[in-house]
C-alpha cells in the first residue's frame, strides 16, 4: 500500500499537483483522480472543465443524551443532577465545588451538623422531610455537601484508623465522593437509634425512607448486597438526589443501583 501511495504521490508532484492533491481534498486518492489529467508536451488540449469539489458535510457528533435513559441529561458534567460518581468515575475537575449550595437550617430543616445541599436537592429534601413529619417521623440531614478538602481529611482519617482497603469500602477518596456534588445526604432520626449504622434500615425512619424517598427524587445509593456494583457496603442512610423522573423510572423498572439504570459498568474498585 505505501509503495502505491508513494508512486501516485510522485506522479502528482511531477504534474505540479503535489501532496495537496493527494491528501488536501476530500476522498484522498479518489479526490486526486478528479484532477485534470496531464498530457504530453506539445499535444494541444482544450481548457479542462473544472470539476466541482464536493462540499464536506459535517458529521453530527452523537450526544450523550441520545443513549441515556429517561430523565438523565448528563452523567459527566458535575453541575448535572444526574452526574455519575463512583470508584471508576471521579468528578471532573476532582476539586469541583457547586455554586448553588443552600444551608439546610436556612430553609427550616434539621441538620445537626449544619450541612448544605445544592438548591434542587435542598428543595426536594424539604418536601420529603415534611412528608415524613406528617407521618410522625422526624428526620435529620446529618451530612450533606463535603468539600474536596473535607473529604481528604475524612478519608485520610479512615485510612489511618483501619487501613486503606477497609477505608475504601466505607469512605470515598477525595474527588470520588457523591457528597462533593452537593446532591447526597446522610439521613438519620433523632428519635431513633442506629444513626449512620446498618441497623438504621430496621428503624421506622429507615423503612419510611426506603419506601418513599423515590417519590421526592432521591434514591438509596448503596443498597444491601450491591457492593460488587457500587463499591460500598450497605448504607441505608445515604440518599442521592437524581430528580423525580429518574427516581420514578428506577423504582418502576426495579433498578437497584444507579449504575444498572445507566447501563454503566460496575465499579467495585478503583482503577488504581
Based on the fold, state whether residues 166 and 88 are members of the same structural domain: yes
Is 51 within a domain? no
Is 41 within a domain? no
Based on the fold, state whether residues 86 and 187 are members of the same structural domain: yes
Is 166 within a domain? yes
Domain range holding 6?
Answer: 2-33
Based on the fold, state whether residues 20 and 98 are members of the same structural domain: no
Is 170 within a domain? yes
Cα gap 175→135, rounded to integer Å: 37
Q: Model pTM?
A: 0.76
Is 59 within a domain? no
Give the total number of structural domains in the chain. 2
Is 146 within a domain? yes
Contact 102, 118 (CB under 8 A): yes
Based on the fold, state whether residues 83 and 196 are members of the same structural domain: yes
Contact 104, 115 (CB under 8 A): yes
Based on the fold, state whether residues 18 and 139 are members of the same structural domain: no
CATH number at residue 217: 3.30.1380.10
Tell me, what's the pLDDT at 67? 87
Peptide bond into 190 cis (omega under 30): no
Contact 114, 105 (CB under 8 A): yes
Residue 22 Cα to chain centre, angstroms: 42
Q: Which three cell numbers stand for residue 179?
A: 457528597
Based on the fold, state whether residues 108 and 226 are members of the same structural domain: yes
Based on the fold, state whether residues 87 and 147 are members of the same structural domain: yes
Neighbours of 201 (CB within 10 A): 19
Residues present in the chain in total: 272
CA angle 134, 135, 141 (to 5 degrees): 75
Based on the fold, state whether residues 185 and 249 are members of the same structural domain: yes
Is 102 within a domain? yes
Contact 188, 203 (CB under 8 A): no
Q: Are strands 238-241 and 218-220 parallel, antiparallel or unpaired?
A: antiparallel
Cα gap 124→143, rounded to integer Å: 16
Instruction: List the one residue out of 258, 254, 264, 246 whose CA is nearest residue 121.
Output: 246
Cα gap 168→59, rounded to integer Å: 43
Based on the fold, state whether residues 79 and 167 are members of the same structural domain: yes
Based on the fold, state whether residues 21 and 91 are members of the same structural domain: no
Is 40 within a domain? no
What pLDDT tens digit does each residue of the chain (272 aa) get?
A: 333 333 333 323 333 433 333 333 333 333 333 333 344 444 444 444 444 444 443 333 333 445 899 999 999 999 999 999 999 999 999 999 999 999 999 999 999 999 999 999 999 999 999 999 999 999 999 999 999 999 999 999 999 999 999 999 999 999 999 999 999 999 999 999 999 999 999 999 999 999 999 999 999 999 999 999 999 999 999 999 999 999 999 999 999 999 999 999 999 999 98
Q: Which three cell numbers stand for residue 59?
A: 458529521
Cα gap 225→1, rounded to integer Å: 56
Based on the fold, state whether residues 118 and 173 are members of the same structural domain: yes
Based on the fold, state whether residues 170 and 101 are members of the same structural domain: yes
Amino acid at each position: 500500500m505505501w509503495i502505491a501511495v508513494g508512486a501516485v504521490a510522485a506522479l502528482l508532484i511531477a504534474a505540479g499537483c503535489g501532496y495537496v492533491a493527494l491528501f488536501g481534498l476530500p476522498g484522498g486518492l479518489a479526490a486526486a483522480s478528479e484532477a485534470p489529467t496531464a498530457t504530453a508536451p506539445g499535444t494541444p488540449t482544450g481548457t479542462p472543465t473544472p470539476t466541482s469539489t464536493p462540499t464536506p458535510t459535517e458529521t453530527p457528533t452523537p450526544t450523550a443524551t441520545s443513549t441515556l435513559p429517561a430523565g438523565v441529561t448528563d452523567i459527566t458534567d458535575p453541575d448535572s443532577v444526574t452526574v455519575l460518581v463512583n470508584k471508576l468515575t471521579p468528578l471532573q475537575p476532582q476539586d469541583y465545588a457547586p455554586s448553588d449550595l443552600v444551608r439546610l437550617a436556612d430553609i427550616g430543616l434539621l441538620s445537626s451538623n449544619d450541612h448544605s445541599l445544592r438548591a434542587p436537592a435542598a428543595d426536594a429534601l424539604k418536601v420529603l422531610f415534611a412528608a415524613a413529619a406528617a407521618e410522625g417521623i422526624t428526620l435529620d440531614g446529618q451530612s450533606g455537601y463535603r468539600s474536596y478538602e473535607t473529604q481528604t481529611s475524612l478519608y485520610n482519617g479512615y485510612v489511618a484508623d483501619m487501613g486503606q482497603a477497609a477505608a475504601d469500602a466505607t469512605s470515598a477518596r477525595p474527588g470520588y465522593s457523591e457528597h462533593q456534588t452537593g446532591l447526597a445526604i446522610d439521613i438519620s432520626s433523632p428519635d431513633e437509634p442506629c444513626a449512620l449504622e446498618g441497623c438504621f434500615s430496621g428503624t421506622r425512619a429507615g423503612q419510611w425512607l426506603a419506601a418513599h424517598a423515590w417519590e421526592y427524587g432521591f434514591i438509596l445509593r448503596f443498597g444491601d448486597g450491591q457492593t460488587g456494583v457500587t463499591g460500598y457496603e450497605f448504607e441505608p442512610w445515604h440518599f442521592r438526589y437524581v430528580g423525580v423522573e429518574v427516581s420514578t423510572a428506577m423504582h418502576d423498572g426495579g433498578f437497584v443501583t444507579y449504575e444498572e439504570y445507566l447501563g454503566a459498568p460496575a465499579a467495585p474498585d478503583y482503577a488504581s
